[in-house]
């Protein structure tokens, strides 16, 4: 067995101690431990350590290191159990050590996936444009179980979903006024789907948003798109030019009647 010959405080970390031991060939540095581990095992000068004691001390010190890392990680914001597990794995902590830390943090109520999910849903609902389907996907990625995230999503009521989706719709229509009405509707529906809103919510939001353009507004939109399309096909002339213009503008959502009107007033037709 080896004997502890000296214990010193680390200069850069006052909570860790360097342990020096004599294995029969004189004093040498053996390992370092956290202050809690030092106290737990009552380490002191002259104490003998066998191999089993040494392994147990190292194991407990690894747990303490991992615990301190997790607490520091949690200090920034709430974390799910999976997030903490993934973080400790990135720090190359072993699975038995991680499991001990997760158990301890859960017992101390530093980890509670239900509280985390409830907080996450409320935060996303109040600070982002995300719909419930996108929030659900993110909670799944964070390791939250289905029964927990379904419970938490009850915090995002139907009427709030409609309100947020309608607000998004209004802003989107204003921003895309140079598009045809049909294309605006298609792009808006795709946007709301990507943001995580259901078809039911989307249909309500779109129907409650004033998407109807008067003739002048739609004419202004086709002039804007038509000028861009003209520059694209300016190398063509005659029938070929007209066909390419009509095809492109139709795909952009404009009616044949409006396209014909635009082409008739366009003095640059070749």
pLDDT tens track for 42-68: 999 999 998 899 899 999 999 999 999
- Computed on alpha carbons and rounded to an integer, the radius of gyration of the chain in Å comes to 33
Q: Which one is the CATH code of 113-155: 2.60.34.10, 3.40.1110.10, 1.20.120.450, 1.10.10.10?
A: 1.10.10.10
Looking at the predicted structure, is the pLDDT value of residue 270 above 60?
no
How many other CB atoms are found less than 10 A from the CB of residue 239? 9
Of the listed ranges 20-29, 84-93, 169-178, 234-243, the least confidently predicted one is 234-243
Q: Specify the pTM.
A: 0.71
Of the listed ranges 68-82, 127-141, 202-216, the least confidently predicted one is 202-216
**Tens digit of pLDDT for each residue in 219-248?**
777 778 878 888 888 888 887 788 887 888
The reply to whether domains 113-155 and 158-208 share a CATH topology is yes
Looking at the predicted structure, is the pLDDT value of residue 11 above 60?
yes
The CB-based long-range contact list for 202-210 (8 Å cut-off, 24+ gap) reads 202/165, 204/162, 204/165, 204/166, 205/162, 205/165, 205/166, 205/168, 205/169, 206/169, 208/162, 208/166, 208/169, 209/166, 209/169, 209/170, 209/173, 210/173
Of the listed ranges 69-83, 90-104, 105-119, 214-228, the least confidently predicted one is 214-228
Looking at the chain, the whole-number percentage of residues with pLDDT higher than 90 is 59
How many other CB atoms are found less than 10 A from the CB of residue 255? 15
The residues pairing with 19 across neighbouring beta strands, listed in sequence order, are 7, 31
Q: How far apart are CA 213 and CA 71, in angstroms?
A: 56
Tell me 153's DSSP state. Answer: G
- What are the residues whose beta carbons fall under 8 Å from the beta carbon of 70, sequence distance 6 or more? 84, 87, 88, 101, 105, 110
**What CATH architecture does domain 1-49 belong to?**
Beta Barrel (2.40)
Q: How far apart are CA 48 and CA 20, in angstroms?
A: 12
How do the domains of the chain map onto residue ranges? 1-49, 113-155, 158-208, 215-265
**Tens digit of pLDDT for each residue in 123-158?**
999 999 999 999 999 999 999 999 999 999 999 999
Q: How far apart are CA 109 and CA 105, in angstroms?
A: 6
Supply the pLDDT for residue 216. Answer: 66
Looking at the predicted structure, is the pLDDT value of residue 269 above 50?
no
Helix axes 51-76, 95-107, angle to 10 degrees: 60
Reported CATH class of domain 158-208: mainly alpha
Supply the pLDDT for residue 267. Answer: 56
In CATH, 215-265 is 1.10.10: yes
Q: From residue 125, how far is each of 108, 133, 221 by CA, in Å? A: 28, 12, 34
């Amino acid at each position: 067995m080896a004997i502890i010959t000296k214990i010193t405080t680390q200069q850069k970390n006052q909570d860790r101690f360097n342990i020096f031991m004599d294995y029969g060939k004189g004093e040498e540095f053996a390992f370092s431990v956290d202050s809690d581990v030092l106290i737990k095992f009552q380490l002191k000068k002259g104490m003998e350590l066998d191999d089993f004691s040494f392994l147990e001390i190292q194991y407990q010190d690894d747990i303490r290191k991992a615990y301190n890392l997790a607490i520091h990680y949690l200090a920034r914001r709430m974390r799910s159990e999976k997030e903490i597990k993934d973080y400790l794995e990135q720090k190359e902590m072993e699975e038995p050590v991680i499991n001990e830390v997760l158990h301890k943090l859960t017992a101390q109520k530093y980890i509670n996936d239900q509280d985390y999910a409830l907080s996450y849903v409320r935060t996303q609902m109040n600070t982002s444009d995300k719909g419930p389907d996108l929030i659900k996907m993110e909670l799944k990625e964070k390791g939250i179980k289905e029964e927990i995230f379904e419970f938490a999503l009850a915090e995002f009521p139907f009427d709030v979903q409609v309100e947020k989706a309608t607000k998004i719709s209004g802003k989107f229509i204003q921003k895309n006024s140079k598009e045809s009405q049909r294309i605006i509707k298609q792009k808006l529906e795709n946007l709301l789907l990507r943001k995580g809103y259901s078809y039911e919510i989307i249909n309500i939001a779109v129907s409650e948003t004033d998407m109807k353009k008067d003739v002048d507004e739609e004419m202004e939109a086709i002039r804007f798109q038509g000028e861009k399309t003209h520059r694209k096909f300016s190398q063509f002339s005659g029938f070929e030019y007209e066909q390419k213009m009509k095809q492109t503008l139709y795909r952009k959502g404009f009616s044949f009647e409006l396209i014909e009107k635009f082409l008739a007033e366009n003095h640059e037709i070749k």
